[in-house]
Amino acid sequence: MAQEAVKADIAAEHPLEDTVVKVFRSAKVVKGGRRFSFAALVVVGDRNGTVGIGYGKANEVPPAVEKAVKDAKKSLCDIVLVDGTLPHKVVGKCRSTSITMVPASPGTGVIAGSAARAALEYAGVRNVLTKINGSTSAKNVVKAVMDGLLKLRDKEMVESLRGVKIETVRRW
């Protein structure tokens, strides 16, 4: 019960925002012509360490986007951030896509393509460098970014897992 109250307070401070990364159109040829259906890829986040992705299909665009937003809210994850950037270099993978995300110094901004930028900005990352290798399809890129973000660990997590004290050195 207390956790729900805390989550409600956090949600009030940082309301969830959503953006459509891409809308996909497919056509089926029938006797009377073409029948179109749509799919939407959406990113939802609070720009403060919580992000989720969703995918929805429908016969029109608005219902597809609504379904995708609903799906994204089900898949929300908390991300580890340090001063608006990543705590360490990480590689996220999805099928033939791999994305390398490198922490950057303050003022750099999000150096990424449109699909990766959406996921990173809604997660709350403000300074990062990225490089995509392999397929650059929006679905795989967004999934690869999420894979990389979920692999992040902060100093306290690593210390507790290894049972040792870690000294860090900033290079910038």
Percent of residues, the chain, with pLDDT higher than 70: 90
pLDDT score of 8 more than 70? no
Query: pLDDT for 107-131, tens place per residue?
Result: 999 999 999 999 999 999 999 999 9
What would the 3-class secondary structure string for the chain be?
CHHHHHHHHHHHHCCCEEEEEEEEEEEEEECCEEEEEEEEEEEEECCCCEEEEEEEEECCHHHHHHHHHHHHHHCCEECCCECCECCCCEEEEECCEEEEEEECCCCCCEECCHHHHHHHHHHCCCEEEEEEEECCCHHHHHHHHHHHHHCCCCHHHHHHHHCCCCCCCCCC
For the segment 26-52, the average pLDDT, to the nearest whole number, is 94
pLDDT score of 3 more than 90? no
The pLDDT of residue 56 is: 97
Give Cβ neighbours of residue 55 (< 8 Å, ≥ 6 apart): 39, 40, 41, 42, 68, 71, 139
CATH classification of 80-162, choosing from 3.30.530.20, 3.30.980.20, 3.30.230.10, 3.40.190.10? Answer: 3.30.230.10
Q: Which two three-digit tokens encode residue 146?
A: 């999420």
All structural domains of the chain with their residue ranges = 2-77, 80-162
Query: pLDDT for 59-79, tens place per residue?
Result: 999 999 999 999 999 999 999
The pLDDT of residue 26 is: 95
Query: pLDDT for 141-171, tens place per residue?
Result: 999 999 999 999 888 887 888 888 877 666 6
Please say whether the beta carbons of 44 and 72 come within 8 A: yes
For the segment 90-96, the average pLDDT, to the nearest whole number, is 95
Cβ burial, residue 77 (10 Å; 0-12/13-18/19+): middle
Mean pLDDT estimate for the chain: 89
The CATH topology of domain 2-77 is Double Stranded RNA Binding Domain (3.30.160)
The pLDDT of residue 6 is: 45
Q: Which two three-digit tokens encode residue 81?
A: 């951030």
